[in-house]
Chains A and B, each alone.
Chain A
Amino acid sequence: MKSKVFDVNENARLLDFLGGMRAIAPLIAAVIPIGLVFGAVAATKGLTPAEAGLMSALVFAGGSQFVAMDIWTHPASWTGVGFAALLVNIRHVLMSASLGTRMQAFGPGSRYLSMLFLADEIWAMAEFRAKAARLTPAWFAGLVAPFYLAWIVSGVAGAALGAFLGDPVVLGLDFAFPAVFIVLVMGFWKGPETGAVLFASGAAAVLTQHFVPGVWYIAAGALAGLLAAVAAGSRRSVEAAS
């Protein structure tokens, strides 16, 4: 009797894991070319396939890895790329605060462990899932496992193949991620208030990117969107009071 209950739980967990894998599948198709490009760029900067793979495995944040390649020196400056990674990834603080409120099904340890894999794509799919259903550790693991492997393997392959790869810009493959993010943004639409958030975020990001060098635009846009939501919220509560 007891073992039967256990089987049912195992089964539900397996189904959740497979559900996560199914959800991340299109993003894996999109991440492989990006990983190949990252590896190829890393090879031109003098990184070996092992070093490129180690970076993908330990950092697992495409944006900051590309920025690091942009500013790479010989010998490598750990302060320079470390600070750049902090700046590029500061948005993860907001993302993890937001997703953290959706993790009732996770134990305290597994919350922190899960957060270490909070790449943009993983986070976006997890938030999307949490709108419709309870986010479970098994479903989250189904997102992470194949995506993490694909990112590392494609990075190593890119570094090994290097110059044999064609130019992804001609094929439009560099556009795959912006396109995925646009589809996800449309899915978060909830009415005019979302419009105000998107407008504030988009305008602040474009202006900041135009006037401030580096990657401050992501943090600036995210903050502006958040402020727009707070402003809309306080206006609503004033109206309710009067």
Chain B
Amino acid sequence: MSIDFATLAAILAMAAATMLTRVGGLFLIRYVSLEGSRRKAIESIPPAVLMAVVAPTAFATGIAETIACAVTAFAAFRLPMLVSVALGVACVAVLRALGM
């Protein structure tokens, strides 16, 4: 269980960069007021970020992933999260096994 010095330095650099981004937003909103239309814009951040993360998987990876994303999204209208996610995972596994 040894730790290499260059590896430690790399881990610390990654940790510092990540921490900077995580407290950065909190620091910013101390100096920018968030009323009216800005409030609306802030409220759009969660769906905008989540969509940006999943879009390449949903639309530009393969047919199996695109279909499984659609199945998950429809399931989410009526079913609990865990069930919807399990459906999506099962769907993608089956479609990949079929060679899609």
A interface residues (Cβ-Cβ under 8 A, vs B)? 26, 29-30, 47-51, 54-55, 58-61, 63-65, 68, 75-86, 89-101, 111-112, 115-116, 118, 120, 124, 127, 169-173, 175-176, 178-189, 193-194, 197-198, 200-206, 209-210, 217-222, 224-226, 228-230, 232-234, 237
Contact A173 B3 (CB under 8 A): no
B62-92 interface code vs A (CB 8 A; 1 in, 0 out): 0001001100110111000110110011111
Instruction: Indicate if the CB atoms of A184 and B11 lie closer than 8 Å.
Output: no
Does B98 lie at the interface of the complex (its beta carbon under 8 Å from any beta carbon of A)? Answer: no
Tell whether, in the assembled complex, residue B47 and residue A194 are in contact, meaning their CB atoms are under 8 Å apart: yes
Name the contact of B57 in the complex, choosing from A89, A95, A178, A185 (C-beta under 8 A): A178
Tell whether, in the assembled complex, residue A54 and residue B42 are in contact, meaning their CB atoms are under 8 Å apart: no
Query: A94 contacts which of B17, B25, B58, B68 (Cβ < 8 Å)?
Result: B25
Q: How far is the CA of A51 from the CA of B56 in the complex (A)?
A: 30
How many pairs, one residue from A and one from B, have CB atoms within 8 Å of each other in the complex?
A: 298
CA separation between A191 and B79, bound complex, in Å? 20
With A and B bound together, what is the CA distance between A37 and B60 in angstroms?
23
A188 to chain B, nearest CB (A): 4
Contact, CB under 8 Å: B2 / A124: no
Task: Report yes or no: B47 in contact with A182, Cβ–Cβ below 8 A.
Answer: no
Contact of B82 among A29, A84, A89 (CB under 8 A): A29
- Whether B41 lies near A92 (C-beta < 8 A) is no
A115 x B89 contact (CB < 8 A): no
Find out whether the CB atom of B88 lies under 8 angstroms from the CB atom of A112: no
Could you name 23 residue pairs across A and B whose Cβ atoms are closer than 8 Å? A29-B82, A50-B1, A68-B10, A77-B6, A78-B6, A82-B17, A86-B20, A94-B25, A94-B45, A96-B23, A97-B26, A97-B29, A172-B68, A176-B88, A178-B69, A182-B73, A197-B48, A202-B52, A202-B58, A210-B60, A225-B47, A230-B41, A233-B41
Indicate if the CB atoms of B4 and A170 lie closer than 8 Å. no
Whole-angstrom CA separation of A115 from B20 in the bound complex: 10
User: At the interface, is chain A mostly helix, strand, loop or mixed?
Assistant: helix
Q: What separation, in Å, do the CA atoms of A61 and B21 have in the docked complex? A: 11
How many B residues, CB 8 Å from partner?
A: 71
Considering only CB atoms, which chain A residue lies closest to B9 in the complex?
A78
Whether A68 contacts B29 by the Cβ 8 Å rule is: no
Chain B residue, CB-CB nearest to A65? B14
Complex contact A97–B51 (CB within 8 A): no
What residues on B are CB-neighbors of A90 within 8 Å? 21
Chain B residues within 8 Å of A58, by CB = 11-12, 14-15
CB closest chain-A residue, reference B11: A55
> Which are the 10 A-B pairs with shortest beta-carbon distances?
A225-B48, A221-B52, A82-B13, A96-B25, A172-B93, A97-B25, A229-B44, A75-B6, A179-B88, A76-B10
Instruction: Decide: A173 and B15 in contact? CB cutoff 8 A.
Output: no
Whose C-beta in chain B lies nearest to the C-beta of A169? Answer: B96
Beyond the given pairs A58-B11, A101-B34, A222-B45, 19 more chain A to chain B contacts, judged by CB atoms under 8 angstroms and listed by A's residue number, are: A30-B85, A54-B11, A55-B14, A59-B14, A76-B4, A77-B10, A85-B18, A89-B18, A92-B21, A98-B45, A101-B29, A170-B97, A176-B85, A178-B58, A178-B69, A180-B85, A185-B73, A197-B48, A202-B58
